[in-house]
Amino acid sequence: QGTLYIVATPIGNLDDLSPRATRTLASVDVVAAEDTRHSGRLLQHLGIQKRMIALHDHNEKDRAEALISYLDKGHDVALISDAGTPLISDPGYVLVRIARERGFRVSPVPGPCALVAALSAAGLPTDRFLFAGFLPAKRSGRRSALDALRRETATLVFYESPHRIMDAVSDMEAVFGEARELVLGRELTKTFETFYAGSITEVRQQLEVDPHGSRGEFVVMVRGAESAAAAGAESALDVDRLLQLLLPELP
């Protein structure tokens, strides 16, 4: 039986490809890739020639079966995506699910992942975080998705495309309030890597004046809501204060 390797590739900086990732790509029989042209260039850069099979969201079920038949014949398969770790807002879930259900070995070759890279350098709490992927493209859907996360106390992490970043930040301002802490990681590991940090309003203003503010790829990180316990303590304090005020009035 073959093994399915889930191989992380760079999110911008080619030097981030691990030696083990290179060795794995060189040793497998088939490479399944989201975009074979894009990944073909990576393999070419590495001097590796492989049979490639396209696996994207629209054909994943069919292609998964084709790839499983390679595993069945004892061939090893590597899955890569256009950037970073497969399955993280990228195709591969159906393939991994089926491969596991049928008893094949599935083995990760870890490496770059934009959300982990961004969190590691943002200065926000990382003990608990909630990765929510891409927000809906339309304003009403986006606002209700954000509203559902309003009370979440873990750090929130989203992916966002450059042409929607301003809209997403202003919707966050409307839903989470101006003062919530926001950190954006843009073009991580690339030449123009930039972090924007501050209150949501401050970050919106930084983006507005930055000529590159709506270019490149973004990871959006929002500090979680104050904990329920802290909110409870606050309201207990309010009750104390209220009692102090009322006490002199009581008979």
Residue 42: closest CA among 17, 72, 73, 75:
17
Q: Is 18 in the site for ligand SAM (CB under 6 A)?
A: no
**What is the spatial distance between Cα 62 and Cα 240, in angstroms, rounded to a whole number?**
64
Residue nearest to ligand SAM (CB): 84
User: Which residue, 22 or 81, has its beta carbon nearer to ligand SAM?
Assistant: 81
Residue 9 has φ and ψ, to the nearest 5°, of -120, 170
Q: Give the helix ranges, DSSP H, for the chain.
A: 19-27, 36-46, 60-72, 93-101, 114-122, 139-148, 165-176, 200-209, 228-246
Q: Find out whether 240 and 189 touch, Cβ atoms under 8 Å.
A: no
Residue 64 as a binder of ligand SAM (CB under 6 A): the answer is no
Q: How far is the CB of 230 from ligand SAM (least distance, A)?
A: 30
Give the C-alpha separation, 185 to 192, whole Å: 11
Q: Which of 22, 24, 81, 155 binds ligand SAM (CB under 6 A)?
A: 81
161 belongs to the binding site for ligand SAM (CB under 6 A): yes
For the bound state, the minimum distance from the C-beta of residue 192 to ligand SAM, rounded and expressed in Å, comes to: 10
List the one residue from 38, 56, 143, 190 that touches ligand SAM (CB under 6 A): 190
* Binds ligand SAM by CB under 6 A, chosen from 4, 85, 92, 157: 85
- Residues 152-161 as b/e (b if ≥16 CB within 10 A, e otherwise) read ebbbbbbbbe
With CB under 6 A as the contact rule, which of the stretches 72-80, 107-115, 165-173, 224-232 interacts with ligand SAM?
Answer: 107-115
60 binds ligand SAM (CB under 6 A): no
Task: Report the alpha-carbon distance of residue 56 to residue 33 in Å, rounded.
Answer: 8
Q: CB-wise, 2 or 221, nearer to ligand SAM?
A: 221
Using CB under 6 A as the binding criterion, the count of chain residues that bind ligand SAM stands at 24
Least Å distance, CB 24 to ligand SAM, is 17
Q: Token digits for 191? A: 């030449």
Say how many C-beta atoms besides its own lie within 10 A of residue 58's C-beta: 10
User: In the window 195-234, what residues touch ligand SAM (CB under 6 A)?
Assistant: 217-219
The nearest distance, CB 82 to ligand SAM, in angstroms, is 7
Q: Which of 12, 92, 213, 224 binds ligand SAM (CB under 6 A)?
A: 12
